[in-house]
């Protein structure tokens, strides 16, 4: 966020986050990309720095601060050091909100302390092989067996799929119903029949473990039901604006970061006896991107304040996710072009940004779905 939009305490937090990512994440990015996942140690170190469960009450191990600017700082500082593989935002912006809003006292006491310490890594399992963005059409079932549910089905494209210890999972508890038949269950590592599939080989974000999950007669105790049975779809719709804003946060950070080192490159690189940035086409492209970055930053910061004030609407969150990821895609592509042949070499950060950014317009609901949400708000 812009410095003028941060408090003195948040600027101190920003410095701490920057130092953490520079020391603990940036030096390990290359190794993690080869491994296909980050180490569990970095999760524990992040927990030691109070980077998880910022809005979780102190009695459960959190900081008790309900201000999304802290989450934004973590996302942006992570992007600046190239740490997209460390999916801390899944923990803070997806898993924690579900338990905070819909978990009972026993569940909060049971799960939050280790989530906040980084000992427990969380994941969110909604998407299925044949479902995509159509969350109401999920086929994973949870049959009521009295004191437990029997879960069968599968999920795919799950971030933290291999590392996760706790997975908030969308299931059908009533197969006769559509959206009203969906509930949320928390599945935990070690449950018999809960298996991880292969690590999916992606074109970008190589260090972020993305996997398939399989459930075969998994016994999940009734105590692991989040909220009320049949309310899962409503809970998911309620939480999606925050998830989409977290994606937008990464996008504006990528836009600003890639543009910054592209401008620097255009000052340093020469062709035909002059800086490549001095050519009219280059200046115009940089001028356009700088303008879009300024607009995007102002819009994003406004959305954060609206989220803090509980005024951010689903359609405005959809606007932020769609527009900023779309601008990110375009800016990264144009910055790569300005780098010429060097832009295609992975040694240059713009090449990695190009690969890592592509998925932004897809996950969290495709940008086509975002436009559909916005269009519906117009009465169509």
DSSP assignment of 212-258 equals: EEEEEEEEEEGGGEESSTT-HHHHHHHHHHHHHHHHHHHHHHHHHHH
End-to-end CA distance of the chain: 34
Please give the structure tokens belonging to residue 94: 């997806």
DSSP assignment of 296-322 equals: HHHHHHHHHHHHHTT---HHHHHHHHH
Say whether 286 sits in a helix, a strand or coil.
helix
Contact 169, 218 (CB under 8 A): no
Residues 6+ apart with CB under 8 A from 56: 62, 63, 64, 96, 100, 112, 115, 116
Question: What is the spatial distance between Cα 178 and Cα 135, in angstroms, rounded to a whole number?
Answer: 10
Question: What is the spatial distance between Cα 249 and Cα 256, in angstroms, rounded to a whole number?
Answer: 11
Say whether 120 sits in a helix, a strand or coil.
coil
Residue corresponding to tokens 């971030």: 159
Residues with active-site annotation: 243
Contact 128, 155 (CB under 8 A): yes
DSSP assignment of 73-131 equals: HHHHHHHHTT-TTS-HHIIIIIIHHHHHHH--HHHHHHHHHHHHHTSS-EEEE---TTT
- Please state, as a whole number, how many other Cβ atoms lie within 10 Å of the Cβ of residue 107: 17
Question: What is the spatial distance between Cα 321 and Cα 315, in angstroms, rounded to a whole number?
Answer: 10
Please give the structure tokens belonging to residue 87: 């999916």
Question: What is the spatial distance between Cα 119 and Cα 188, in angstroms, rounded to a whole number?
Answer: 13
């Amino acid at each position: 966020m812009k410095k003028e939009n941060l408090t003195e305490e948040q600027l101190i937090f920003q410095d701490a986050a920057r130092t953490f990512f520079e020391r603990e994440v940036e030096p390990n990015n290359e190794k993690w990309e080869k491994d296909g996942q980050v180490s569990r140690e970095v999760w524990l170190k992040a927990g030691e720095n109070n980077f998880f469960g910022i809005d979780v009450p102190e009695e459960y191990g959190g900081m008790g601060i309900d201000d999304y600017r802290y989450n934004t700082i973590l996302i942006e500082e992570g992007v600046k050091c190239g740490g997209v593989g460390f999916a801390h935002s899944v923990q803070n912006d997806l898993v924690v909100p579900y338990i905070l809003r819909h978990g009972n006292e026993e569940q909060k006491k049971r799960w939050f302390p280790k989530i906040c310490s980084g000992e427990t890594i969380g994941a969110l399992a909604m998407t299925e092989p044949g479902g995509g963005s159509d969350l109401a059409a999920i086929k994973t079932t949870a049959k009521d067996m009295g004191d437990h549910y029997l879960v069968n089905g599968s999920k795919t494209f799950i971030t933290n799929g291999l590392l996760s210890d706790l997975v908030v999972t969308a299931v059908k508890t009533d197969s006769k119903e559509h959206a009203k038949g969906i509930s949320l269950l928390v599945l935990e590592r070690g449950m018999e029949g809960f298996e991880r599939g292969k690590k999916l080989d992606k074109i970008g974000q190589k260090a972020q473990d993305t996997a398939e999950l399989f459930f075969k007669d998994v016994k999940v105790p009734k105590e692991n039901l989040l909220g009320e049975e049949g309310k899962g779809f409503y809970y998911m719709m309620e939480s999606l604006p925050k998830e989409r804003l977290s994606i937008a946060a990464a996008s504006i950070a990528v836009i600003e970061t890639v543009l910054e080192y592209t401008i620097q490159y255009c000052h340093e690189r020469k062709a035909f006896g002059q800086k490549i940035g001095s050519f009219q086409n280059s200046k115009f492209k940089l001028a356009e991107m700088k303008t879009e970055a300024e607009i995007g930053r102002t819009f994003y910061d406004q959305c954060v304040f609206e989220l803090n004030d509980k005024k951010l609407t689903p359609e405005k969150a959809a606007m932020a996710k769609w527009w900023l990821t779309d601008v990110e895609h375009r800016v990264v592509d144009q910055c790569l072009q300005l780098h010429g042949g060097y832009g295609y070499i992975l040694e240059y950060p713009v090449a990695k940004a190009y690969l890592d950014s592509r998925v932004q317009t897809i996950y969290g609901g495709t940008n086509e779905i975002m436009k559909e949400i916005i269009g519906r708000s117009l009465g169509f």
